[in-house]
Amino acid sequence: MKILVCISHVPDTTSKINFTEDNTLFDTNGVQFIINPNDEFGLTRAMWFKEKQGAHVTVVNVGQVDTEPTLRKALAIGADEAIRVNFKPADGFSVAKQLANVVKTGGYDLVIAGRESIDYNGGMVPGMIAGLTNINFVNTCIGIEVEGNHATVIREIDGGKETVRTSLPLVIGVQKGIVEESDLRIPNMRGIMMARKKPLTVLEPVESNSETTSVIFEKPAPKGAIKMVDTDNLDELVNLLHNEAKVI
């Protein structure tokens, strides 16, 4: 099985979010970048396929040279090779077009992408890859088994889950549950050494214009003061929620 895992290079979850250039650009100053958590869950599931069922795992990122350490980390976790499409992401659609091109030319059986990235939260890349390549797609996956050409996928829905049957080639949008938090792997020294020797191919982008343009960023207004309620005065809490906040 040939697996492609899409890796988004995102600010660490504890990052302070600031903007520069008159609030038109995300300020990367002092920000640590990580593999997008949903993508890391997907990569870990790919490693499971590699070890249990045999698979060749390629990781791909659409980005500029600064994202290469993130791809090397994915190689250190155990991916076999990496591709970087040398393109500055403009929006989700433009990234999906680059990835769709990699999918079409690479002949992958399974394409795994995080349901959403934690930076722009677009939630569109996996679905758009599927739409652009016309292959089967299941989103919000929390489980997948592959047997021959068939896949059984568990998908989270609002208020529950459902099981679907589909066939390869397949694109899945994944999240926690596809593997457990405790399954995540921290690269060891050997993995890091080996990652240096694994192939990282840089591809030139296909032409694509962006459908959307980020105009300006704003930060949320500072929060008003909290009202404290004593433990022996919970009637007051009920009263505040009813009469002041009007939420009950």
Partner 1 sequence: MSVLVYTESEQGKLKKVAFEVASYAKAVANLLGTTVTAITINTEDTSELGAYGVDKILNVTNEQLNTFCATSYAEAIKQAAQKEASKVVVLSSSANSKYLAPLVAVSLNAGYVSNVIEAPSNTAPFTVKRTAFTNKAFEQTAINTEVKILGVSNNAFGLVEHNGAAAVESFSPEISESGVKVESVDKASNKVSIADADIVVSGGRGLKGPENWGMIEELADVLGAATACSKPVSDLGWRPHGEHVGQTGKPVAANLYIAIGISGAIQHLAGINASKVKVVINTDSEAPFFKAADYGVVGDAFEVVPQLIEKLKAFKAQQ
Ligand X SMILES: Cc1cc2nc3c(=O)[nH]c(=O)nc-3n(C[C@H](O)[C@H](O)[C@H](O)COP(=O)(O)OP(=O)(O)OC[C@H]3O[C@@H](n4cnc5c(N)ncnc54)[C@H](O)[C@@H]3O)c2cc1C
Residues that bind ligand X (CB under 6 A): 13, 37
Q: How far is the CB of 200 from partner 1 (least distance, A)?
A: 27
In the range 74-103, which residues lie near partner 1 by CB under 8 A?
Answer: 91-93, 96
Q: How far is the CB of 189 from partner 1 (least distance, A)?
A: 26
Q: How far apart are CA 160 and CA 102, in angstroms?
A: 34
- Say which residues have a Cβ less than 8 Å from residue 156's Cβ, sequence separation at least 6: 140, 141, 142, 175, 177
Q: Give phi and psi for 193, each to the nearest 5.
A: -65, -45
- Say which residues have a Cβ less than 8 Å from residue 23's Cβ, sequence separation at least 6: 216, 217, 218
Nearest residue to 121 via CA among 214, 195, 194, 43: 214
Which of 81, 166, 198, 200 is the binder for partner 1 (CB under 8 A)? 166
Pairing of strands 56-63, 81-86: parallel
Q: How far is the CB of 104 from ligand X (least distance, A)?
A: 32
Binding mask 188-227 for partner 1 (x = CB under 8 A): ---------------------xxxxxxxxxxxx--xx-xx
Contact partner at residue 221 from ligand X, partner 1, none, CB < 5 to 8 Å by partner kind: none
Using rule CB under 8 A, residue 21 touches partner 1: no
Contact partner at residue 150 from partner 1, ligand X, none, CB < 5 to 8 Å by partner kind: none
Nearer residue to ligand X within complex by CB, 33 or 49: 33
Question: Angle between the 68-77 and 37-52 helix axes, to the nearest 10 degrees?
Answer: 40
Using rule CB under 8 A, residue 64 touches partner 1: no
Q: What is the CA radius of gyration of the chain?
A: 21
Neighbours of 161 (CB within 10 A): 13
Q: How far is the CB of 11 from ligand X (least distance, A)?
A: 11
Local structure of 194: helix, strand or coil: helix
Q: What tokens does 13 get?
A: 């979850």
Contact partner at residue 123 from partner 1, ligand X, none, CB < 5 to 8 Å by partner kind: partner 1
Using rule CB under 8 A, residue 113 touches partner 1: no
